[in-house]
């Protein structure tokens, strides 16, 4: 649903009907099946994705050949691999649907054109980027101030609903430890 995006934008800036039309004319809606990929290694990331329904994950394969998840995106969050998007260099990340999802995508190029036509959108994305940065910094704070076990309990208490939506091993990966260690702390809790 295209509405989801413009409704979200309207929480931050005013949009005229003509703006809404302009936006809707350059984005596209994708139904993404669980486990389907929006980005794979050796591709250049050229799009940004807004999740209108479902859940995406961003991950890469580390030296030990394990998946390392660096981000999730659920409803009303943007996801992209900015390292590649900004540099036009090949990415070593995957973007994959964790659930059957509905995603609104826009190419970097179209977005640049859109900024020319609807300059107020710069403001929306400034705010979105600032929030993303703040969240990312908060995450670094947690990494450096809590043990893995504390971080697991903290995350669980902050997002009890979210942890029901994803397999445990994905949460373990996101939090930076092994599924075995996760089982150990969960067993302790009882």
Beta strands in the chain, from DSSP E residues, in sequence order: 28-32, 37-39, 47-53, 55-61, 67-74, 78-79, 93-97, 101-107
Q: Longest C-alpha distance within the chain, in Å?
A: 57
Q: Which is nearer to DNA, 92 or 100 (CB)?
A: 100
Angle between helix axes 148-158 and 120-145 (nearest 10 degrees) is 140
Query: Is residue 184 at the binding interface for DNA, with CB under 7 A as the rule?
Result: yes
Q: Which is nearer to DNA, 119 or 160 (CB)?
A: 160
Binding site for its own copies (CB under 8 A): 60, 62-63, 68, 70-71, 82-83, 86, 115, 119-120, 122-123, 125-126, 129-134, 136-141, 143-145, 176
Choose which of 42, 112, 147, 160 interacts with DNA (CB under 7 A): 147
Q: Which is nearer to DNA, 11 or 64 (CB)?
A: 64
In our burial notation (b when 16+ CB lie closer than 10 A, e otherwise), range 48-65 reads bbbbbbbbbbbbeeeeee
Nearest CA among 84, 9, 4 for reference residue 39: 84
| Contact indicator for 82, 76 with CB cutoff of 8 Å | no
148 binds, among its own copies, DNA, none (CB under 5 to 8 A by kind): DNA
Total of chain residues touching DNA, rule CB under 7 A: 20
Distance CA(183)–CA(17), nearest Å, equals: 52
For the bound state, the minimum distance from the C-beta of residue 4 to DNA, rounded and expressed in Å, comes to: 25
Query: Is residue 143 at the binding interface for DNA, with CB under 7 A as the rule?
Result: no
Choose which of 124, 132, 149, 162 interacts with DNA (CB under 7 A): 149
Binding residues vs DNA (CB under 7 A): 34, 64, 147-149, 167-170, 176-184, 186-187
């Amino acid at each position: 649903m295209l509405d989801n995006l413009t409704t979200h934008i309207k929480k931050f800036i005013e949009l005229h009907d003509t703006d809404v039309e302009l936006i809707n004319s350059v984005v596209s809606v994708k139904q993404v099946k669980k486990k389907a990929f929006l980005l794979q290694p050796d591709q250049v990331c050229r799009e940004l994705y807004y999740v209108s329904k479902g859940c995406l994950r961003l991950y890469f394969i580390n030296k030990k050949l394990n998946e390392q998840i660096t981000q999730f995106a659920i409803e009303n969050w943007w996801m992209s691999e900015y390292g590649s998007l900004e540099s036009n260099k090949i990415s070593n990340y995957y973007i994959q649907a964790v659930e059957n999802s509905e995603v609104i995508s826009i190419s970097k190029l179209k977005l640049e054109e859109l900024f020319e036509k609807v300059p107020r959108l710069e403001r929306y994305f400034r705010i979105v980027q600032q929030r993303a940065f703040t969240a990312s910094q908060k995450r670094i704070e947690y990494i450096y101030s809590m043990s893995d076990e504390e971080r697991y309990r903290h995350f669980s208490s902050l997002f009890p609903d979210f942890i029901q939506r994803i397999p445990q091993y994905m949460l373990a990966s996101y939090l930076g430890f092994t599924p075995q260690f996760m089982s150990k702390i969960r067993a302790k809790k009882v």
